[in-house]
Structure 1
Amino acid sequence: MTDARNRWAAPFGWIARASRVPGEERRSLVQTTKAAVAAVLAWIIATAVLDLPQPFLAPYAAVFLVQATVYRSLRGWAQQVGAVSAGVLLAAGAGQFIPSVTVALGLVVFTGLLIGSWRGFGDSGVWVGVTGMLLVSYGNATEPVLLADRLLETALGAAIGAVLNAVVLPPLHGGRLRAATSRLASAVADVLDETAALVRGESPEAADVLQDRMLDVRSLVAEAEEAIGWTREGRYLNLRGRRETREEPLANLVTLWPPLTQLIDAVSEAARSEQPFRHPGEHGRGVVGDLLEALAEVARSGDPDRLDRCSKLVEEIDRLLVTPTDEVTTSIGLGAMALPARRIVQQLHAD
């Protein structure tokens, strides 16, 4: 009973979130509304203003040109108009030189799909063959006026969709970027804390758990890279581009992935090793653990002022590596951990 109630309530919850929170739901609602408005405008202009007969391509093109970014809308307009133009010309040629509709249909579809595979047409390439097929099958291929109408309808609808998307609340992807930043920062901080616990002497079995956690972090890094790409593309040609969230904090977290992987590999290898000289002594492990916990705090807070403590701990590790102590035989394991840890601190300082 509860599950059924939740299923019925889900759409209302989605609408409530869209009106309350500036997230994915609101962006989807805005884009859907713009697509509907673009279709209606394209139909009204095509029928009431231009008096085009059966202008079904106008609203169709308008809907598909309300894309996730302004750049994709403008690029899609050029691609779709180009694809439909090629299909119209192909149908016109078939109508002039091939008397059989059946033969013309097959040749137009075959040739149109081959031409549409050119990467310059993008996702709109299929419309070379489809447009030619529709015109030939409807018997419009031999009527230049109707061919011109189909081209005009497509250009009109595509232009309305692209312009509306570019002018009315052009889409931004800052929400996706902020969410990805928060998730990745939290995951990196948790992994650093777990690595610190392993350095300090937690059971070697914890190294296997840590490796599984790293797979989760790798997935979040991929998500972060995708969010950065969407944000950069969303800013391009966007009238609201200056309001877009900066991607630098997330990009900086992504750059920590290679040294973080090396650090955890070094710690895990040392923890599993049965050779005493591979694992640092108690004091060295304590310093490395303190460094990892300090880095976790920086990752969570994003506060560069906390890096001073990290730098001091790196200097302490360097001193342990060059100064003879009772733990001198552990320098191999300590050195393997020190290099990626130093790279993480340097990368955070550079950012």
Structure 2
Amino acid sequence: MSIRVGTSGTPKTPGEPETSGTEGAGARWAEAVRREAGAAGRAVRAAWAGPGRERDLVVQSLKAALAAALAWFVASDWLNDPMALMAPWVALVLVQATVYGSLRQAAQQWTAICVGTLLASAAQALTGNTLGALALSVPLLMLLAHWPRFGDQGIYAATTAVFTLASGAVSVSAVGHRVGQAALGAVIGVAVNALVLPPVHLRDVRENLAALTREAGEALHAVAAGLRDGEWDTATAADWSRRADRLERRCEGLRSARSWSRESLRLTAGPLRALHRVPLDVPPESEDARWGRVSDHVTALTRTLAVAADDDRAPAPPRAEALRIYARLLALIGDACAAQSERFLDAGAAAGGVEGFEAGRAEEEMEELRGRLQHSLRDHAGEGAAHTAVLGTLLLQAENLWVEALPGARRENRAE
């Protein structure tokens, strides 16, 4: 078949329509717009459907607009300020994700505004020229913007200096007026954030815990399916390792969510939290540690299987019959993880236990499977250390997963 080259240099077959570079770019832009519109539509539907991150963003946006409007009303209509700009500006940006964050950033931003206003006014008085004052004050303020004490609010020192010099109001009364306006906006912004549906980030802890337990169960089910079918090699083991890596990233997300949860509970009164209609019985931090250990055990399990699948390594995989028994054991532990994930999403349920999963019957079957694996381990011992090492390591890791995923099993083992 003959090949011809289009205008873009790409080989084309006969009958394929010509597309110019402009048409291709237009199609890509249209596809990008379509994807963004679809994402926006999904976000709107999620915000309408019920509580979640999307609705939290809507609430925070409306609160920021309310704070700005209220600050403008107080400064312009109540205090008769002809240039009521600073107060709504500060109030708008101080409606943060937590009340504590709003208060901390209010202090940082107000200090930055004071420094910027004072330094710009001093530079104007010293040089007598706006351009000279800008050249003298802004470089120093940009250096101060990186001072850790300012956090991410340091840039407001430089922007305030530019605004001060551009307005030409550098007298002592103008400086005091501008600083007072910033303080008014900070008070209004923090007050609106604290008193109107204060943000409480406990839902994220539940969602991250549920996602971690669900993905741990999915990883165990994937390993169990591969071992049961006997169709696994280095590529399959690498895929299992990637699943384990995703669990570690889930653990990092859980740690971040827990940090946000602790911060959101600071400086928020109990009755005000109740207005947010967020369940306050968040799972304890001990659950984070427990499922973090489960993630570590899954990672160790997949690494052992990766070593066993490598033909260039000394350890050899166990016999197929032992692997099928082991696969059933992993599947039961994966079922326990999946049931616990559903329980974490049930805000009214306690943290411990696995509702909807017959833990007693599962533990009985696990005990029977463990006994069969121990018997198989003795049989493997007669075939040499290579087979015994892998099966013994896998059995130990499964028992570690068992006692973490099923706390009742842990108590029984301790009693034994």
Same fold per TM (> 0.5)? yes
Greater length-normalized contact order (CA 8 Å, ≥ 6 residues apart):
1
1:211 has 2:241 as partner: yes
**Cα displacement (A) at 1:134:** 1.7
1:6-55 Cα offsets, whole Å, 9 max, x none, are 98797676445323311122111111111111001101111122222302
1:147 has 2:185 as partner: no
Query: Secondary structure at 2:68's aligned position in 1?
Result: helix
Query: Secondary structure at 2:154's aligned position in 1?
Result: helix
* Matching of residues 280-295 of structure 1 within 5 Å: 280-295=318-333
| Alignment partners' CA distance in 1, 2:267 and 2:365 | 41
Residues 70 and 165 in structure 1, CA contact (< 8 A), matched pair in contact too: yes
1:254 corresponds to: 292
Query: Residues 13 and 263 of structure 1: is their aligned pair in 2 closer, same or farther, counting only changes over 3 Å?
Result: closer
2:86 corresponds to: 57
Residue 344 of structure 1 is aligned with which of 390, 396, 401? 401
1:126-151 Cα offsets, whole Å, 9 max, x none, are 1112212221232222x111111111
2:339 corresponds to: 301
**Cα displacement (A) at 1:158:** 1.6
2:157 corresponds to: 128
| Alignment partners' CA distance in 1, 2:402 and 2:190 | 45
Bigger shift: residues 324-333 or 310-319: 310-319
Residues 112 and 129 in structure 1, CA contact (< 8 A), matched pair in contact too: yes
Unaligned runs of 5+ in 1: none
Unaligned runs of 5+ in 2: 1-30, 341-352, 412-416
| Alignment partners' CA distance in 2, 1:259 and 1:26 | 36
Query: Secondary structure at 2:309's aligned position in 1?
Result: helix
1:325 corresponds to: 379
1:31 corresponds to: 60
2:216 corresponds to: 188
Residues 108 and 133 in structure 1, CA contact (< 8 A), matched pair in contact too: no
| Alignment partners' CA distance in 1, 2:315 and 2:76 | 83
Residue 102 of structure 1 is aligned with which of 127, 131, 141? 131
Bigger shift: residues 95-104 or 52-61: 95-104
Residues 177 and 224 in structure 1, CA contact (< 8 A), matched pair in contact too: yes
**Cα displacement (A) at 1:310:** 8.2
1:119-173 Cα offsets, whole Å, 9 max, x none, are 11111101112212221232222x1111111111111112211111111111122
Query: Residues 219 and 158 of structure 1: is their aligned pair in 2 closer, same or farther, counting only changes over 3 Å?
Result: same
Bigger shift: residues 126-135 or 13-22: 13-22
Q: Kindly provide the amino acid, as one letter, of the partner of residue 266 in structure 2.
A: Y
* Matching of residues 158-177 of structure 1 within 5 Å: 158-177=186-205
Query: Residues 311 and 53 of structure 1: is their aligned pair in 2 closer, same or farther, counting only changes over 3 Å?
Result: farther
Query: Residues 253 and 309 of structure 1: is their aligned pair in 2 closer, same or farther, counting only changes over 3 Å?
Result: farther
| Alignment partners' CA distance in 2, 1:106 and 1:162 | 34
| Alignment partners' CA distance in 2, 1:15 and 1:198 | 40
Residues 225 and 327 in structure 2, CA contact (< 8 A), matched pair in contact too: yes
Query: Residues 5 and 285 of structure 1: is their aligned pair in 2 closer, same or farther, counting only changes over 3 Å?
Result: closer
1:287-307 Cα offsets, whole Å, 9 max, x none, are 422321121011101145468
Query: Residues 311 and 93 of structure 1: is their aligned pair in 2 closer, same or farther, counting only changes over 3 Å?
Result: farther
| Alignment partners' CA distance in 1, 2:39 and 2:393 | 51
Q: Kindly provide the amino acid, as one letter, of the partner of residue 72 in structure 2.
A: W
2:16 corresponds to: none
2:391 corresponds to: 334
1:197 corresponds to: 225
Query: Secondary structure at 1:123's aligned position in 2?
Result: coil
Counting aligned pairs with the same residue, the percent is 28
| Alignment partners' CA distance in 1, 2:313 and 2:45 | 60
1:312 corresponds to: 367
Relative to the length of structure 2, the TM-score reads 0.73
RMSD: 3.2
Q: Which has the higher helix share?
A: 1
* Matching of residues 222-301 of structure 1 within 5 Å: 222-239=252-269, 240=273, 243-244=279-280, 245-246=282-283, 248=285, 249=287, 252-273=290-311, 278-301=316-339
Residues 199 and 271 in structure 1, CA contact (< 8 A), matched pair in contact too: no
